[in-house]
Amino acid sequence: MKNYTDKQVLDKAESIHGFKCIPSEYWLFGIRSEADVYDEFDDKFFVFKGREFIMSLTGTTNAGSSALLNYSKYNPLGTAILKSDEWYYDVWSPGLHKGRMRCLKQVKPMFIYRDNNKNRKSEEIGKIYYKMVGIEFHASTYSQDMSFIRKLIGGWSAGCQVINDTKRYYEALELFETQKTTSYCLVKEF
């Protein structure tokens, strides 16, 4: 994935469907890689406070191998794929992922697709659903080892937005935990 300037990210955020304003608090901007390498963390995230760039992270906006190939253990309709090129305002609040890890939990409905063709790609095809399905922002381990960086997604995403670098994840999460809700803008690579 190419590099982006702050201006490019902000310009893109302002052009996305549902744009109302750039949030004044901390917010997250995700870019879904065009390559969509199967089961790899190949996406980027940018943390802003208002229009000020704070930090970038690596992770995934796609489901991993476990959910793509065995979706029936999560949902018989298919694994959740969060719709990109959308704004999700005040969509997350601080909480716990599966009761074990600090995270941002979904508190408002989001647009998702249900991918059920088992072709090893996270695809935005078929019917769009607008609902609460537990799309969270979390790390790729329950371990508190801050040097841990995961290489493969595996079962760590069944629709969640997941960061693979534990140290960077907790640095970002500490910012988001200072506020009641966090907004998210997800786009396709541009």
pLDDT digits (tens, 9 = 90+) for 13-56: 999 989 999 999 999 999 999 999 999 999 999 999 999 999 99
pTM over 0.85: yes
Cα dist from 154 to 14, 24, 76, 87, whole Å: 33, 35, 19, 27
Cα dihedral sign, 163-164-168-174:
positive
Residue 73 binned pLDDT confidence (cut-offs 50, 70, 90) = confident
Alpha-carbon distance 67 to 83, whole Å? 17
Average pLDDT for residues 51-67, to the nearest whole number?
Answer: 97
Q: What is the pLDDT of residues 115-163, one digit of tens each?
A: 999 999 999 999 999 999 999 999 999 998 999 999 999 999 999 999 9
What is the DSSP pairing of strand 182-188 with strand 26-32? parallel
Lowest mean pLDDT among 55-64, 67-76, 140-149, 172-181: 67-76
Report the share of the chain in percent with pLDDT over 90: 96
